[in-house]
Structure 1
Amino acid sequence: MRHILSGIALAATLLIGATVSATAQNPFEPVVYVNDKAVTRYEVQQRKRFMQILGAPDTDDRAAEQALIDDRLRVFAAEQLGIEATEEGLQAGLDEFAARAGMDATQFTVALERGGVEPHVYRDFVRAGIVWRGVIRQRLVPLLSVSDAEIEQELKRQVQTPILSRVLMSELILPAPPGQEQAAMDLANRIAGSRPTEDQFAQAARQYSAAGSASAGGRLGWLDIDNLPPSLRPVIAGLQPGQTSRPLTVPGAVVIFHLRDTQGTLRPGATEQVLDYMTLRLASAADAARLAARARTCDTLYGDAGSAAPAIQRQTRSQNAIPTLIAAQLASLDDDEATVIDYGNAADLVMLCSRQPAILAEAGNDVATTALPDDGVEDAVPDAQAVPSREAVREELFNRKASAAADAYLAELRADAVIRRP
């Protein structure tokens, strides 16, 4: 559903161009049929080159063929629903995709031709994506929803995830003097495409890198993420420790990075909790235990308590404001779980309704994600410490579900299709 690429690396690869080797086999010979729609050898070679230009240097015939099969299935599903791409919609899609490489559709098409890819390959690729989005909107989106509970859970996860502050990485800088840009890019693609370990990356850096860090295997010390160039921050932030970036072009060189480790800091208030809980004083521990066994949720406790219900106290308080004995019992409870505190001559039933980071409790349902500078500049300044809005989280979760549903539906189409070889 999503096509990921690095705009910088893509633009550089396109502008350099390449020569496509000819094949001795009949280029228009069908290699596979998908519901009686042929995929030719030439289409496979064109799609392979297209995918390589988009930043997948290790793409082979098998991967290109599978991508074409999937596109045939996407178009087939759209045809069954009467979904087509209008010329205006197709042009908008072409322009949007080209913009990722800093070009318009015409420039992108010319650059692709220079790289050995015919214009119709680009158009067919975008067209398949457009009609597939139509299939998803019509068939899958009406079946999807995001609950408030899911939003709360995701907000907690995000708040409790450290914000990246420092990185430990290695660099490899390949010289790319005029006339040797393609050779440098090819070498960088081979290194990055091999998914090197830290030791393998270090070995490559010692052998090929022109940086002063080459003798140390390209290893750099801890760097504050804010000290990195703004264009590089999202590249590094998108890596997990042990991963290598795609090649990036800079004047006279091609650069790749390997992330070794990260450090982060929690948002202020992320470790402090606010608890929603209920207490009910009863005559004995036995009475409290019987009620605790019957109660299933905080909402049903009122009915389960019968005539004692008016004495129930429900409170939402920060941890440090809750009496120590009650707070200690709440610490071991899950949501809607109850326990009993026995005082000898009386007992308290204690039930946890929910717990959440204090920062979410303070934020409420309307959380700003930007802050206006004190000097009155009109443009809002992003705040890395800010909690995302509930609506932003809802959209993110919905998109995840839509992507998963689309993948599952494509797998279903694949299983039901008649896919045969000549």
Structure 2
Amino acid sequence: MATVNVKTMLIKPLSALLLASSLLAGSLSAAEQPLDRVAAIVDNDIVMYSQYQTRLNEVQNSIRQRDIEPPPEDVLRQQVMERLILDAIQLQIAERSGIRVSDEELAEAMTEIAKSNGLTQREFEQALAADGLTLAAAKEQIRQEMIINRVRQYRVGERIQISEQEIQNFLASDLGKMHLAEEFKLANILIPLSDGATRAELAAAEQTVASIVEQLERGADFSQMAVTYSASENALDGGEMGWRQAAQLPPPFDRMLTDMSVGQVTPPTRTPGGIIMLKLLDRRGDSVVYRDEVNVRHILLQPSEIRSPEATRQLATRIYERLRNGENFAQLAKQFSDDPGSALNGGALNWVDPNALAPAFRAEMERTDIGQLSKPFESQFGWHVLEVLDRRSTDTSQQVRKQQAANLLRNRKYDEELQTWLRQIRDEAYVEIKTL
């Protein structure tokens, strides 16, 4: 098995917010080493000198492995102690807030770390042992890192507010357009032609292009045509250019691509470098996003102290028969339905996203044609009869773009707010450093 740097391996797959200095931290080292002396008091916790020295050694080793110039010794020692102090403060906040990481979540994280490094569980444990670490020690450190990450997400996240005006301003900005612009995966064929080309050179180039177009129309492979004819630097890669935004392409290609379907090829177009044809291999980003919605109404019957589950099922069957015989759905819903949110509206749920509904309800709705009743069925809420009134696909592209913008703005604010929050909790904590 290849040599693995376990300290890096354990930390790398986790969020960038997690601690990145070492594997051993917190009370872990104190549990594994004889009681020595207190290095710092942090509110209701202490940092032992052994913990501090272990972390310092880890950071020094990391600096050496990365072959970078270390800071002065006193500066490095102060930074290591400050990191341990902040860890202790955040773990105490987690304890007071009831923030936990379950054994199942921890096991899943450990499995993911091993998997992301191409190791089986046994190989992972062997790598830990080779680095002088036990599985229990690794688990405890990862648990602490996950807890600290969760504390930060909660405490910093609640400090970040994104207004509707901020979202709109970002969407209208050049930066927002750049981040959210649709991207196109492209391939090209370039037939070189200089600005001062003679008539003979122009005719020869146009003849070559016409031959390529004819072959493509007969089903020739675009990448093979690129290898054979193109003068672009990516010709031997089948002309593949990778992902591009429309703004990165010269006119008129920026406009052409918007209306093209994947697999289509642009008409041959004269550019300063020659005659170019682009093939759209794929697209991602700012494409139209549709959400399926269903206009549905239902009658819900729930068992109660005076109506048994079997009696509820039988009532649902009788109501179903009455509906089949032509009785008014809205009137029966108002009379019988136990769903207070829809009963007064004749059982109407109006247009709903199927993914927002209970699995049993969604499954039955999907099996029911427009204008048809479902047979009585049971969900976690009780017995239902539903009627599908209509189906549609709604363009939700704008909502998706706004959510993407909000996420980008939140991420931009997060680092700044995190540092502000860390300074605040450090200033508010009682800290007494005994030794460095």
Q: TM-score, normalised by structure 2?
A: 0.37
> TM-score normalized by structure 1?
0.38
In our comparison, the structure showing a higher alpha carbon Rg is: 2
